[in-house]
Amino acid sequence: MSQTSPKPDLPDFPAEIEADPKQLPYDKEQLLRFFAAMRLARAFEEKLGALYRQGKLLGAAYLGMGQEATSVGCISLLDKGDYFSTVSRNLSAWFYRGVEPGHVLARWFGKDQSPSHGRDLGLFLADLENYGIAPFHNGSMAAWIPTGAGYALSFKMRKQPNIYLAFTGDGATSPGDFYEGLNFASIHKLPLVIIAEMNQFAYSTPPEKQMPVKNIADRAPAFNIYSEIAYGNDLFKVIDASRRGIDHARSGNGPALIELKTFRQRGHGEHDDMSYVPRELREFWENRDPIRMYRRWMIERAEIPALDIERIEEDASHQIERAVEYAEALPYPSPEAVTERLYAPSPHDPRAEDRKNIFEPIENPAVPSLTATKERSTGGHF
């Protein structure tokens, strides 16, 4: 623990969820569904960290522990046809969508039957059947903002009532791509929603050393867009703020930037011991763990029987055990397949004949081998 860290400026967030369960539009089944996705992500990442330390993973492990409520809250608000991209700390969004833990875990083992078929490691997921886009096309942080603006432009051109939701970290709000993407989206009033997770660090850099403003949302006036700040460890505060942002964008008013204050409970990756994180900051946020707060709220306020919750916790452990067995037993991709699956058509694209009415398809006959993909063998993942 660093002795030289200055005392952190701690916010005024309560250590409990305040919502009145009677005022919420959710039944018991839905409340437990939120919990199941968050709990599964936590169990998954606890295991992933252990596997990393055992030297069993290919590459690093970047965990989103402590940020589970932000992902679940936002993803629960999307309509059919809304696209989204996550960064490395949003696993609970995928589990909320029903993606199998074994399928995701296989990626950290570099296996063929994983979302990327062994093409890259566990960082960024895509699943076109589920409308999920991989954000990291070229390794550049914030590159997903102009891409999201592009998707949002296509929705507007096609008169589709959809939005693009892009998760992003605080550090990723500083590169130029962030500005170009938001500027363009604002000028054209595109349905782009940025969920900016202020988790207090970008690698080891605190916000005050990489942002000239206190909040990410303070950047919004420069783009003339809607913004809000909410407490990211309270699931219902996340949902409230994100819903307003999504409604704004979907109604044709242009982009929204929702900043969620939260905390990265682990280092940037599992190779990072977080020695630069002030003890007070860590304790403050660990006392506001989003899953523990939600669990307590369910029992004490929503009167959900502890037995139902414990059943979900046990099920999460079993799912993770099965996921490890499954992923370890899978084959590696064959070297001959290395040029396959570089591009994949979206299963939700308009049919070719309809597409002609919207824009001319771009075809490049010079590279036919790169556009060819084999039929998918894993129920839609590529």
Ligand X SMILES: Cc1ncc(C[n+]2csc(CCOP(=O)(O)OP(=O)(O)O)c2C)c(N)n1
Q: Residue numbers of the site for Mg ion (CB under 5 A)?
A: 169-170, 199, 202
Tokens of 197: 């997770």
Tokens of 24: 């919420």
261 part of the interface to ligand X, by CB under 6 A: no
Interaction partner, residue 268 (ligand X, Mg ion, none; CB < 5-8 Å by kind): ligand X
- In the complex, which residue's CB is closest to ligand X? 169
User: Across-strand partners of 196?
Assistant: 168, 259
- Rounded to a whole number of angstroms, the minimum distance from the CB of residue 171 to Mg ion is 5
Nearer to ligand X, 5 or 210 (CB): 210
Q: How far apart are the first and last CA of the chain?
A: 42
Three-state secondary-structure class, residue 227: strand
CB burial readout 350-364, b (16+ within 10 A) else e: eeeeeeeeeeeeeee
Distances (CA, A) of 155 to 33, 150, 160: 30, 9, 5
Nearer to ligand X, 113 or 177 (CB): 177
101 part of the interface to ligand X, by CB under 6 A: no
204 part of the interface to ligand X, by CB under 6 A: no
Site for ligand X in 109-148 (CB under 6 A): 139-141
Q: Count CA within 13 A, CB hemisphere, residue 291.
A: 21
Q: Are 256 and 227 in contact (CB under 8 A)?
A: yes
- Rounded to a whole number of angstroms, the minimum distance from the CB of residue 124 to Mg ion is 15
- Rounded to a whole number of angstroms, the minimum distance from the CB of residue 317 to ligand X is 26
Largest CA distance in the chain: 66
Nearer to Mg ion, 57 or 211 (CB): 211
- Rounded to a whole number of angstroms, the minimum distance from the CB of residue 132 to Mg ion is 21
**Residue (of 309, 355, 363, 239) closest to 39 by Cα position:** 309
Q: Residue holding tokens 């699931």? A: 235
Site for ligand X in 37-96 (CB under 6 A): 87, 89
- Rounded to a whole number of angstroms, the minimum distance from the CB of residue 114 to Mg ion is 26
- Rounded to a whole number of angstroms, the minimum distance from the CB of residue 73 to ligand X is 17
Binding site for ligand X (CB under 6 A): 87, 89, 139-141, 169-172, 175, 199, 201-203, 264, 268
